[in-house]
Amino acid sequence: MLTYLVSFISPGYVNKPRRALPYNPPKNTDNGATSPLRVLLWAPPRSLSTAFERCIASSGDDVQIYHEMYTAAYHLGPDRQVDIPVPVATRMIKEGHFTYDWVRTELERTRSDGTRLVFCKELGYTIHNRFNSLPTGFTHTFLIRHPAKVFLSMNNLIKKFVAKRVLHLTISDVLPQGLVFRELYELFCYITYTLGQQPIIIDADDLIDHPERTLRAYCQAIGIPYSASMMQWNPLEKERDRWNYSKRLMLINRVIGQYDRAFSTSKLQKGVEKPLDLTKVTPEVLHATESSVQYYEKMYDLRLRPLSSCDHASDSDFTDDNSASDDQVDGSQESEGRSHPDDRNGNASGEAGDRRGLADSSDDVSSGFNSEDETDSSESGDSELELTHTITSL
């Protein structure tokens, strides 16, 4: 069993770089208002997505952040897709105006405030079966992380809180039927093959191992300049008026400590891997990983490759600084045509000598960039906010 899990976590997949999109600065509308670039990032939970969101938020004062608006609609709004098994908690945390239609309208609204970029971070499963609620005019992107690391981290989070002891919750109890990865993959297929958008995918391991290079690749792909400020975040107090979110959902996550690292850390640092704690590999974690890894592999095969220094040094249109990359990368940056992942060879076996060691996914791997994966180690507290945390934020 453990050998099977090890092969999942450190597969050494083949890199498949994607062609970058041209830089598209904001355009002026007929009435003089600026039409900003609009980007959506879809991710599974426990994937470093909030820390990545802070990177984008720090790129300039003309960036508006929309944080988990559909997630609030999914869990707390009138259209919510789940029922919280604590009636008192349900009354406490309802968000009456967070309907799917309201969120879409809010994301699409015309702006006349000089905003250059509208960036929205969401959990992919929250739009499942609601594709008609996707906003128009957005570039859709994806942040993925290996399922074994996601579920190990999630299991560790659940075990820390009273919800597991009182309600006997497990991973499958707090996630949709497809365990988030199937939902994310179906969203990816819809955006790629129905909407016709080229896939823009980054992997959390690349972000940890090569943060600057991965950020440069992402910025180039969506068409914004890379800024060194993405590696050194602004204090949240300076960004507060540029963040849009559900106050109730944010309160729940802040009380629990869900965002302690992402909101207290000041910069993104390269990670250091730690040994895996084998006591945390439960049968449920293994089953969830087995059920999800096929979807992850299909998306991983199409992910962006971190840019090397020679790649971005010759592409000044995509940077507003002259900072050096974090390290070098071998291999060419070739582009390839799109083919449906289901038509590709699903067996993404690793190349010899390119296999990484196991990382402790519950504590994560970076001293400065572990965001959602480090929560308060204390198990004290029996508030109803804690009781509903696993359901409302995962």
Q: Model-level pTM greater than 0.85?
A: no
Dist. CA 125–CA 234, nearest whole Å: 30
Instruction: Tell me the C-alpha to C-alpha distance, in Å, between residue 207 and each of 7, 315, 328, 351.
Output: 21, 21, 14, 20
Amino acid at 74: Y
Q: Quote the distance between the C-alpha of residue 220 and its chain's center.
A: 18
pLDDT of residue 67 exceeding 80: yes
Instruction: Tell me the C-alpha to C-alpha distance, in Å, between residue 279 and each of 156, 162, 275, 373.
Output: 11, 20, 12, 17
94 C-beta neighbours (distance < 10 Å), count:
15
Amino acid at 381: G
Q: What is the pLDDT of residue 136?
A: 96
Condensed to tens digits (0 to 9), the pLDDT of residues 13-44 reads 333 334 444 444 455 555 555 689 999 999 99
Instruction: Name the token pair of 277.
Output: 């704690």
Q: What is the pLDDT of residue 387?
A: 27
Decide if 273 contacts 359 (C-beta within 8 A).
Answer: yes
Condensed to tens digits (0 to 9), the pLDDT of residues 131-167 reads 999 999 999 999 999 999 999 988 877 777 655 556 6
Q: How many domains does the chain have?
A: 1
User: Could you tell me the residue range of the domain that residue 221 belongs to?
Assistant: 2-393
Condensed to tens digits (0 to 9), the pLDDT of residues 81-119 reads 776 555 545 556 777 789 999 999 999 999 989 999 999
Decide if 163 contacts 169 (C-beta within 8 A).
Answer: yes
Sheet with 37-43, edge to edge strand ranges: 201-203, 139-144, 37-43, 117-123, 63-67, 243-245
Condensed to tens digits (0 to 9), the pLDDT of residues 319-363 reads 554 444 454 333 333 334 455 666 544 443 333 333 333 333 433
pLDDT class of 262 with cuts at 50, 70, 90: low
Residue 34 pairs with which residues in a beta bridge?
28
Which one, of 309, 312, 310, 335, lies nearest residue 16 by Cα? 335
Dist. CA 255–CA 258, nearest whole Å: 8
Dist. CA 277–CA 254, nearest whole Å: 26
Decide if 249 contacts 92 (C-beta within 8 A).
Answer: no
Decide if 57 contacts 240 (C-beta within 8 A).
Answer: no
Decide if 95 contacts 246 (C-beta within 8 A).
Answer: yes
Complete DSSP assignment for 260-279: HHHHH--B----------GG
pLDDT of residue 365 exceeding 70: no
The beta-strand segments (E) located in 53-190 are 63-67, 117-123, 139-144
Which one, of 225, 234, 224, 171, lies nearest residue 44 by Cα? 171
Range with lowest mean pLDDT among 72-76, 305-309, 337-341: 337-341
Instruction: Name the token pair of 207.
Output: 């972000």
